[in-house]
């Protein structure tokens, strides 16, 4: 039995869960998410908990079991608390500014400013040199943060670039001088 998959998910107050044939709808105070239901895996709502079970012990079913439970848990967390990732921009001459409702414009040392428009359901905020990516869908939040980081990855010599707030950049020594 999957250690993750067999754990029940507690349903907080204000969250409604509807189990359909092909998907599970999770609605809460922050919004609504639809989680596709994998084959050979089923979900039932029992006593303010969601329990995920699998039909057989085939390797594919065992793999989907833990994944389905994790996706459901992320959906429940997303509609109640939401998810957030913070990115830090380091570098001389690098600048951030908000453009419109959900876009940012960055000066990252290129010959042109770089504009990034967030997809629907993801919110971007800038505060000095910090970009906050937030939303209810964990996968979208992580993807947007990764796309922004990929615009200018941190380099190992001076640490210039865009990095996650909790990321540690391993620094390299520069050239050794002649003696």
- Please state, in angstroms and rounded to a whole number, the distance separating the CA atoms of residues 155 and 157: 6
Q: Which CATH superfamily is domain 83-164 in?
A: Ribosomal protein L6 (3.90.930.12)
The token pair at 112 is 């042109």
With H, G, I as helix, E, B as strand and everything else as coil, classify residue 15.
coil
Gap between the Cα atoms of 146 and 135, Å rounded: 14
Residue 43, token pair as written in the block: 């979900």
pLDDT score for 2: 67
The answer to whether residue 133 scores a pLDDT higher than 90 is yes
Task: Say how far apart CA 2 and CA 21 lie, in whole Å.
Answer: 23
Residues 6+ apart with CB under 8 A from 151: 106, 108, 114, 116, 162
Q: Can you tell me the mean pLDDT for 94-99?
A: 91
Facing residues of 52 across strands? 43
Average pLDDT over residues 142-165: 94
The 8-class DSSP code of residue 179 comes to -
* Model confidence, pTM: 0.88
Torsion sign (Cα): 43, 44, 45, 47: negative
Q: Is 142 helix (H, G, I), strand (E, B) or coil?
A: helix
What is the fold, at CATH topology level, of the domain defined by 9-80? Outer Surface Protein A; domain 3 (3.90.930)
Q: Which of 8, 19, 3, 33 is nearest to 138 (CA)?
A: 33
- Taking every pair of C-alpha atoms in the chain, what is the biggest distance, in angstroms? 75
The predicted structure's pLDDT at residue 1: 58
List the Cα angle 25/76/5 in 5-degree steps. Answer: 95
Q: Check pLDDT > 80 for residue 75.
A: yes
pLDDT surpasses 90 at 163: yes
Give the separation between CA 98 and CA 42, rounded to whole angstroms.
43
Residue ranges of domains in the chain: 9-80, 83-164
Domains 9-80 and 83-164 are alike in CATH topology: yes
């Amino acid at each position: 039995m999957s250690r993750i998959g067999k754990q029940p998910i507690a349903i907080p107050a204000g969250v409604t869960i509807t189990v359909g044939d092909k998907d599970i709808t999770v609605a809460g105070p922050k919004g609504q998410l639809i989680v596709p239901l994998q084959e050979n895996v089923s979900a039932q709502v029992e006593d303010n908990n969601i329990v995920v079970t699998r039909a057989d012990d085939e390797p594919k079913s065992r793999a989907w079991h833990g994944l389905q439970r994790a996706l459901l848990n992320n959906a429940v967390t997303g509609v109640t608390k939401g998810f957030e990732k913070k990115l830090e921009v380091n570098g001389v001459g690098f600048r951030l500014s908000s453009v419109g409702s959900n876009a940012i414009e960055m000066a990252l040392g290129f010959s042109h400013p770089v504009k990034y428009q967030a997809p629907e359901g993801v919110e971007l905020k800038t505060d000095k040199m910090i970009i906050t990516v937030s939303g209810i869908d964990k996968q979208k939040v992580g993807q947007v943060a990764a796309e922004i980081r990929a615009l200018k990855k941190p380099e190992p010599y001076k640490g210039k670039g865009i990095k996650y707030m909790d990321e540690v950049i391993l620094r390299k020594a520069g050239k050794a001088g002649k003696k």
